Amino acid sequence: MRTVVVGGTGHIGTYLVPELVRLGHEVVVLSRGERSPYQSNGAWSRVRMIQVDRAAEDAEGTFGTRVADLQPDVVIDLICFTEDSARQLAEAVRGKIQHLLHCGTIWVHGPSATVPTREDAPRRPFGDYGINKAAIETYLLDRARRDGLPATLIHPGHISGPGWTPINPAANLDLGVFEKLARGDELTLPNLGLETIQHVHAADVAGMFLAALRNRSVAIGESFHAVAEGAMTLRGYAEGVAGSFGQEARLAFLPWEEWRQTVSEGDAAATYDHIAHSPHCSMEKAARLLGFRPRYSPLEATLEAIGWLVDNGKIT
């Protein structure tokens, strides 16, 4: 099949595109061309690369037509962030493709209530990202059920893996948090460190897309989580990271309003977003309908990313 991957050089595409090539797909990747995949693979030599500015073409109303003109059998959209963008693509390819797969986010749920949260839980998204992604999900699934659009949505958790910085045990991107744990220094966490975050290795997210492709008949018209089995509390995550460096975590705790004064405004905002969601999503539906189970535990996914940071001098 000819498979077009939109945004295929990022976290997910690094693992997904070479596997599509190995499975015999004719792969076309649309991207801004501003970065290379996070890992080298000979399969990329067999991929047709097309440089595009999706935001500009969406504004002009031409992006959907560009994709449709490639005559794909499958479209995998990894970088769609507004309902209008999703609508343009869906209308352009409706009736012309076998499968449209969209990358969403577990933040379509908003804060976790009953856990593990299932895909059919009521939506209470907050923040522009979660609200916009929830609107895309509603639109695509409605089109699938009313008009036969062959759409499937995959909702990743906090994507991790070699090549980039994972969300840390303080629920932000400050590399100093990992360094404190590596040295055995005291780390202060908000509240009692019992809020949760749920990582997933990028390879497992790619695996979810492939599982949906293999099981097209049951995947169309459905959404699926793509997370590691189980969520980690902030303190449990900190203890796991410290242990990987041969240290015992030395943790202290402060109420949120006090803790936020100890970090930068940007780190405080990132932490709040993550702990206000405190996700813990279920993978039962993916196992039942697609036969897929993630290979990496949440700690394994983050430790592989941390190992890359150490090896590349990002963490001292």
pTM of the model: 0.97
Domain assignment of residue 316, yes or no: no
Domain count, the chain: 2
Same domain? For 241 and 208 the reply is no
The position carrying tokens 């499958």 is: 74
- Determine phi and psi for 37, rounding to 5 degrees: -55, 155
Place of tokens 């090539």: 21
Q: Would you say 77 and 140 are in contact if contact means Cβ atoms under 8 Å apart?
A: no
Same domain, 192 and 74: no
**Distance (Å, whole) CA 234 – CA 275:** 9
Classify residue 260 by its DSSP letter. G
On whether both 172 and 221 belong to a single domain, the answer is no
Considering the domain architecture, whether residues 23 and 139 belong to the same structural domain is answered as yes
Cβ atoms 193, 235 nearer than 8 A: yes
231, with CB counted inside 10 A (0-12, 13-18, 19+), is buried
Torsion of CA 304, 155, 280, 128, to 10 degrees: 110
For residue 275, what are the domain limits?
164-197+232-280+298-311
Query: Is 131 found in the same domain as 7?
Result: yes
Which residues have CB under 8 Å from 198's CB, separation 6+?
106, 157, 158, 227, 228, 230, 231, 232, 279, 280, 281, 298
- Within the chain, strands assigned E span 2-6, 26-31, 48-51, 74-77, 99-103, 151-156, 158-160, 186-190, 196-197, 199-201, 222-226, 232-233, 250-254
Whether 126 and 250 share a structural domain: no
Domain harbouring 59, CATH code: 3.40.50.720
Is 288 within a domain?
no
Instruction: Say if residue 168 is in the same domain as residue 262.
Output: yes
Q: Which residues pair with 188 in a beta bridge?
A: 252
Tens of pLDDT along the chain (316 residues) come to 999 999 999 999 999 999 999 999 999 999 997 777 888 899 999 999 999 999 999 999 999 999 999 999 999 999 999 999 999 999 999 999 999 999 999 999 999 889 999 999 999 999 999 999 999 999 999 999 999 999 999 999 999 999 999 999 999 999 999 999 999 999 999 999 999 999 999 999 999 999 999 999 999 999 999 999 999 999 999 999 999 999 999 999 999 999 999 999 999 999 999 999 999 999 999 999 999 999 999 999 999 999 999 999 999 8
Same domain, 192 and 211: no
Strands (E), 20-73: 26-31, 48-51
Taken as a whole, the chain contains a residue count of 316
Residues 22, 131 within the same domain: yes
Same domain, 113 and 253: no
Beta bridge pairs of residue 153: 102, 223
* DSSP alpha helix (H) spans, 157-297: 175-183, 202-214, 216-219, 234-244, 256-259, 265-277, 284-285
Structure tokens at 99: 């499968």
Angle between helix axes 234-244 and 298-311 (nearest 10 degrees) is 50
Residue with tokens 């090896």: 311
